[in-house]
Structure 1
Amino acid sequence: MAGQKSVEALGQAKQFMYRQARLLDRRRYEFHFEQGSPEQVIAALRAYQNEDGGFGQALEPDIRCPHSQPVPVEMALRLMDEVSYVDSTIMEGIGRYLRGITRPAGGFPLATLAVNDYPHAPWWYREEDQLPSLNPTGNIIGLLYKLSAQHSFKEEEWFQSSVEYMWRQLDELNPYDYHDIVQAATFLEHAPDSERVQEYRVWLDELIKRPGIIELDPQAEGYVHKVLDWAPAPDHSVAKLVTAEDISRHLDHLLTEQQADGGWPIRWEAVSPACELEWRGSITIDRLLTLRAYGRLGSSASE
């Protein structure tokens, strides 16, 4: 019965993706579930890159600003990593953009003031943009470390100053917010191995295990981050910090969260109906990949 439910979930999700999702996420669906090519994903991604090398154009659906912003750059890096295809032209542009927005003491801002001129979720409003932010600097630098074979940024001053900014953040701050913790985790996961890195990984594991950090109730509502948000695959570093029973309960509930149209919901208020559909397409792929990673889903819609 559970297997039948999984097969039905994938079939319904396929209909949702082709009916409602943006091209980029349809290409992701094709890549992961219909033997699509990574080149097609990257071709769709290119439409979001601007002349300055950065990414905008609502790649992050809550930021409707067409101009380049740091978080969409982070998302572009993650997408190239997801499909294991790093486009050299895209990467060269990212380096050019990041050089230009690196703050004097290293790091990148969360967003620039340009977001205020276009529709955006309220948490993206900026009063100033001169200060660097742990989010998204940690993910950007961590992913650039991971993808280092495809670029030569590591020796550049902006990269090194941003690495030093990250160490200062870890030394000076206790990131308790989900997004901050994830930024720290990505940086530590991919930074060159050292005694310092190992010490902070232990510290971060202990932080994540504190009560209230991981939402253990699969039925919790609102903008919460549950077990599978923290550990979307069994080989994820956080998976070892929760029990197999917790993971199983959350997988069971994740299947029940699929909506009648075949897609999964978002847990926050959307900027617009179009924004909500864009997010739901992206999140639906993420949910399918999590279910498959834990053995709850077949590898193709025909299975």
Structure 2
Amino acid sequence: MTGQKSVEALGQAKLFIYRQARLLDRRRYEFHFEQGSPEQVIAALRAYQNEDGGFGQALEPDIRCPHSQPVPVEIALRLMDEIGYVDTSIMDGIGRYLRGIVRPEGGFPLATLAVNNYPHAPWWYREEDQLPSLNPTGNIIGLLYKLAEHHAFQEEEWFQSSVAYMWRQLDDLNPYDYHDIVQAATFLEHAPDSEQVQEYRVWLDELIKRPGIIELDPQAEGYVHKVLDWAPAPNYPAAKLVTSEHISLHLDHLLTEQQADGGWPIRWEAVSPACELEWRGSITIDRLLTLQAYGRLELS
């Protein structure tokens, strides 16, 4: 089946999305595959935004905390980028929230202590929240650079101090942590071009190419990060670091991972059945977009 398009994957996924997924992911499906409007996606996203401008309300399904957290803000930015539509009021709120949580040395914490008061995946537990973290600072600043025409944050002190924090963190990057590497990659991809940025992009490419960083075995199990996690679309920088044969093999395997109910699975233990379905709805849209990006979906 190598290289073949799937005729059935989209139809099966549609049934799963409408049976099981949250409204936000139904709107995403409609936007990408049913001529839905970006405004409807934004309307669903807005329900997760709090009065402080940040996002919570389990937008990140493993964080059941209703209060604003940095990672859900990253997710909101990524979603607006995904649909190519940035809501000004949402962006203004994000700026207000980030000004309030930036740490003195720049950057944002992975999560605040409020996360501990609600159900959450064990890796979200915090003993302190005063220190900044590369994750999610890299993605937040990188996405804000990418969406720069929709805000004027770059000249603000919190933004500049967070950029400085990112450059300091790049010198101490743990080369074996996927989540840190992708934060660095997003930042370097969208930071204003300069000789320094070019040098670090080359350095990061060499780091990612080290054995064991990208999982090349499409059938590897557990919480691993495979070729299509690094390169979910051909325009991702990591796509040039693997062969077309590896990409094809992983696309073949991705199609086989679609489950009988039409959705794709998660690779980690969920907080609850509801949490698992929320994640599976989100990931199912992601998988469809990857298959579409590589020409593996037969669209009606």
List per-residue Cα deviations over 1:188-227 (Å, max 9, x = no partner).
0000000000000000000000000000000000000000
The question of whether the paired residues in 1 share the 8 Å contact of 2:3 and 2:252 is answered with no
The question of whether the paired residues in 1 share the 8 Å contact of 2:2 and 2:252 is answered with no
Please state how far the C-alpha of 1:7 moved relative to its aligned partner: 1.4
The question of whether the paired residues in 1 share the 8 Å contact of 2:174 and 2:180 is answered with no
Q: Give me the identity figure in percent.
A: 90
Supply the distance in 2 between the matched residues of 1:225 and 1:89 (Cα, whole angstroms).
35
When the two structures are superposed, what TM-score results if normalisation uses the length of structure 1? Answer: 0.97
Please state how far the C-alpha of 1:173 moved relative to its aligned partner: 3.0
Question: 1:181/1:3 Cα in 2 relative to 1: closer, same or farther (>3 Å)?
Answer: closer
Supply the distance in 1 between the matched residues of 2:251 and 2:58 (Cα, whole angstroms).
30
Supply the distance in 1 between the matched residues of 2:262 and 2:140 (Cα, whole angstroms).
32
Supply the distance in 2 between the matched residues of 1:15 and 1:5 (Cα, whole angstroms).
19
How much is the aligned-residue C-alpha RMSD, in angstroms? 1.1
Question: 1:2/1:188 Cα in 2 relative to 1: closer, same or farther (>3 Å)?
Answer: closer
Please state how far the C-alpha of 1:172 moved relative to its aligned partner: 2.9
Please state how far the C-alpha of 1:278 moved relative to its aligned partner: 0.3
The question of whether the paired residues in 1 share the 8 Å contact of 2:135 and 2:180 is answered with yes
Supply the distance in 2 between the matched residues of 1:68 and 1:247 (Cα, whole angstroms).
37
List per-residue Cα deviations over 1:96-128 (Å, max 9, x = no partner).
000000000100000000000000000000000
Please state how far the C-alpha of 1:3 moved relative to its aligned partner: 8.8
The question of whether the paired residues in 1 share the 8 Å contact of 2:215 and 2:227 is answered with yes
Supply the distance in 2 between the matched residues of 1:229 and 1:156 (Cα, whole angstroms).
33
SS class of match (1:180): helix
List per-residue Cα deviations over 1:206-263 (Å, max 9, x = no partner).
0000000000000000000000000011121111100111001000000000000000
SS class of match (1:5): coil
Supply the distance in 2 between the matched residues of 1:107 and 1:44 (Cα, whole angstroms).
28
When the two structures are superposed, what TM-score results if normalisation uses the length of structure 2? Answer: 0.98
Supply the distance in 1 between the matched residues of 2:101 and 2:38 (Cα, whole angstroms).
29
Please state how far the C-alpha of 1:2 moved relative to its aligned partner: 7.4
SS class of match (1:264): coil
Question: 1:52/1:221 Cα in 2 relative to 1: closer, same or farther (>3 Å)?
Answer: same
Query: Please, which moves more after superposition, 167-176 or 66-75?
Result: 167-176
Unaligned residue ranges in structure 1 (runs of 5+): 298-302
SS class of match (1:199): helix
Please state how far the C-alpha of 1:21 moved relative to its aligned partner: 0.2
Please state how far the C-alpha of 1:272 moved relative to its aligned partner: 0.2
Q: Following superposition of structure 1 onto structure 2, how do residues 26-37 of structure 1 map, counting pairs within 5 Å?
A: 26-37=26-37
SS class of match (1:172): coil
Q: Following superposition of structure 1 onto structure 2, how do residues 101-112 of structure 1 map, counting pairs within 5 Å?
A: 101-112=101-112
Q: How many residues align?
A: 298
